Amino acid sequence: MSSTPFNVADHVARITLNRPEKLNAFNREMALELQSRLDSCARDASIKVVLITGAGRAFSAGQDLSEICNAENPGIGKILSELYNPIIHKITSLNKPVVAAINGIAAGAGANIALSCDICVASKSASFIQAFSKIGLIPDSGGTFFLPRLVGWQKASALMMLSEKVTAAEAMQMGMIYKFFEDEVFESSVNEICIQLANMPATGLAYTKRALQASFHNSLHNQLIEEDELQQQAAGSPEFAQRVRAFVKK
């Protein structure tokens, strides 16, 4: 049984983290499989949107802690460089939107993988915890990059140092996630978002993602140049010509 079953429908690729008895904690196999799913999404032009969610009552509890206690584990340095860092790079460099649908608890690296996605939504009963400080680690998987940018330095610092669990409603209020939905309509609401994205002009979305990422390291001057270049490329896409023609005709 795959630890990340994958299916594509309506141009949306759905990747499910699937070790529910371990709250979808990442072992090496699941992390490598997620990387390979993301590579498939990058290669397949028919896929316009990627959705990552979890099976059972969790999105992911982060690193499988029993695996790192195992004598055969390759060492913490390799866990990050071989497993989590490539996942974050693959999500952020994919030229299509990645939606994280947080169906339950997201802890440790599980929470930070979620925050690296372009749109992060949660079910009302979901929660987030930067669980690292409890076990004497620092937040990884891009957490120290994304969380302060999303919620501000003070909140990020407190959440990370206290390992405080936040509800989906609190996460939305502080800007950690885009929205939460009542549990009963969570799946249908996530599907609606994905279908909407799949029907949007793909080039514009890809360049929007790229411009937002560039803003993290650019000065205003350089960001305006970046927008100019990307806008010219977006305006050269057939989708732009079609959509503008349709708008003007109407």
Give contact residues for ligand LHQ (rule: CB under 6 A). Answer: 22-23, 25, 61-66, 68, 76, 79-80, 105, 107-109, 129, 131-132, 135, 137, 140
When the beta carbons of 58 and 205 are compared against ligand LHQ, the nearer one is: 58
Q: Which is nearer to ligand LHQ, 52 or 131 (CB)?
A: 131
CB of 72 to ligand LHQ, least distance (A): 15
Which CB sits closer to ligand LHQ, 104 or 204?
Answer: 104
> What is the phi/psi pair of residue 19, to 5°?
-135, 60
To ligand LHQ, the closest distance from the beta carbon of 107 in angstroms equals 4
Helix H segments across the chain?
Answer: 28-43, 65-68, 76-78, 85-93, 109-115, 143-151, 153-162, 168-173, 183-198, 202-215, 220-235, 238-249
Report in angstroms how near the CB of residue 69 gets to ligand LHQ at its nearest: 10
Torsion of CA 19, 3, 70, 160, to 10 degrees: -60
d(CA 124, CA 172): 10
- Identify the bridge partners of residue 14 per DSSP, sorted by sequence position: 7, 51
Taking the complex as a whole, how short is the minimal distance between the CB of residue 119 and ligand LHQ, in angstroms? 22
CA 20 to chain centroid, in Å, comes to: 19
| Cβ-based nearer residue to ligand LHQ, 61 or 87 | 61
Let me know: does 101 contact 51? Beta carbons within 8 Å. Answer: yes
The two three-digit tokens of residue 172, written as one number: 């939305």
How far apart are CB 143 and ligand LHQ at their closest, in Å? 9
Q: Which is nearer to ligand LHQ, 65 or 225 (CB)?
A: 65
